[in-house]
């Protein structure tokens, strides 16, 4: 397994664990709960610190063998493919949220067939947007791992 594939696995696993920590702080029983602004900021800063630590660990470990860090054409192409799909996921998710918000306001007189997100709630909006970022990163890392396994 190459260093780049190991980094993708690390990014995928650490990203999922950090998102689970975020979900633990914003949800209760599978439902997004209203949290105080202080709690939301504390959670956001904690998430950023965890993400920085998770990004630094592979670099520190890889510094022992600088030759293994060199990327060839295949590594660059795989990274570029992962970056493209990460962007596609963000665009799709943002459009789903926009359509959801517009439908919520346009069809106020109808009973929804699917649960509605209260995007007017700061806690819900923050959690949903951060989840979109985590989802996009998970798709990128999964795609990178899949490309190396092919």
Q: Name residue 32's beta-bridge partners.
A: 27
Report the C-alpha gap between 22 and 27 in whole angstroms: 8
85-99: b (≥16 Cβ within 10 Å) or e: bbeebbeebeeebee
pLDDT in tens, 44-102: 999 999 999 999 998 888 888 777 677 889 989 999 999 999 999 999 999 998 988 88
pLDDT in tens, 17-37: 999 999 999 999 888 999 999
């Amino acid at each position: 397994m190459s260093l780049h594939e190991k980094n993708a696995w690390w990014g995928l696993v650490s990203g999922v664990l950090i998102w689970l920590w975020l979900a633990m702080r914003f949800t209760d029983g599978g439902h997004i709960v209203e949290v105080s602004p202080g709690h939301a900021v504390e959670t956001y800063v904690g998430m950023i610190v965890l993400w920085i630590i998770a990004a630094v660990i592979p670099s520190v470990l890889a510094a022992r063998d600088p030759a293994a860090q060199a990327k060839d054409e295949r590594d660059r192409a795989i990274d570029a493919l992962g970056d493209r799909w990460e962007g596609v996921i963000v665009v799709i998710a943002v459009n789903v949220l926009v359509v959801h918000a517009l439908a919520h306001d346009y069809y106020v007189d109808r009973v929804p067939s699917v649960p509605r997100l209260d995007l007017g709630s700061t806690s819900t909006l923050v959690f949903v947007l951060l989840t979109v970022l985590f989802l996009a990163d998970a798709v990128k890392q999964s795609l990178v791992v899949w490309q190396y396994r092919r």
